[in-house]
Amino acid sequence: MNAASYPLILEPREFSLPAAEGVLVVDLCKPETYAEAHLPGAVHLDYAALTLSRPPVGGLLPGDTELSRVLSAIGLTPDKHVVAYDDEGGGKASRLLWTLDVLGHSRISLLDGGYRAWTEAALPLEREPVIAAVSEYRAISGEDARADRDYILGRLGSPDFALVDARTPEEYSGKNRRAERGGHIPGAVNFNWVNAMDPEREMRLKPRDELAENFAALGVTQDKEVVAYCHTHHRSSHTYIVLKSLGIERLRGYPGSWSDWGNDPSSPIEV
């Protein structure tokens, strides 16, 4: 399979190594994992570089200048297809892919099951760190793939609008309160992000039909605009990529997520 035909969700055995010209493999594993072993040719990216904190709000999107610096440092260019993976279920890798979606960089793939699935399949690894050829990537943020608090407030109650809360049921109900207030955004449905993964298959995604059926049962269908959120848009970045793979076209992620909404006393909540 060549890079031009890589799907959004890329099965490890479908990924040919060495990577084709025009492919950038990005490792978002823990630094110690990368130092021990990583996919051949993979450059390492620290997850923290993709987020901005303004306490008590975390998980915000850095500005274009900072994103330009971060993405240039890993050698990204507009023509490259990014294959991202991590060692924690895909949340960190998906945050990178969501960020690229915000920038209009549409050539992206999530390695299904990430590092765990790759190693379980006994596929090639290397130990030497990869030094990226620094590029001059120019990040220009768009609005189509992200939502903020005001945007969501303006859409609440619309029949063609759905909110997916990717946190645990305890966070969703307010039993586990990680912000000034607990609960969820009014009308949001709860889909714990880990429920998309199959622990029997090294945390690969569950079958597409099963996932589509699960979301449809919650009222999340292709005819609606969907916003995914969690606490800082880490877990919900994974949900965003899952929904994108299911064909949801009007799709946004909420940077800041509940750390923003739950710490604003004027935002309506449900428990």
Q: How many residues does the chain have?
A: 271
- C-alpha 229/C-alpha 240 separation (Å) is 9
Q: What span, in angstroms and rounded, lies between the C-alpha atoms of 194 and 187?
A: 21
Write out the two tokens for 259. 């750390």
- The H or E element that residue 190 is part of is strand 189-190
Q: How many CA atoms lie within 13 A of 208 on its CB side?
A: 9
Q: What angle do CA 22, 28, 32 make, to 5 degrees?
A: 125
Question: Which residues are part of the catalytic machinery?
Answer: 230
Phi and psi, residue 198, nearest 5°: -105, 105
Angle at 163 between CA 161 and CA 168, to 5 degrees: 165
Whether the ω angle into residue 186 lies within 30 degrees of 0, i.e. cis, is no
Cross-strand bridge partners of residue 24: 82
Quote the CA–CA distance of 179 and 121 in Å, as a whole number: 40
Token pair, residue 101, equals 């979606």
Burial 196-210 (b: 16+ CB within 10 A, else e): bbeeeebbbbeeeee
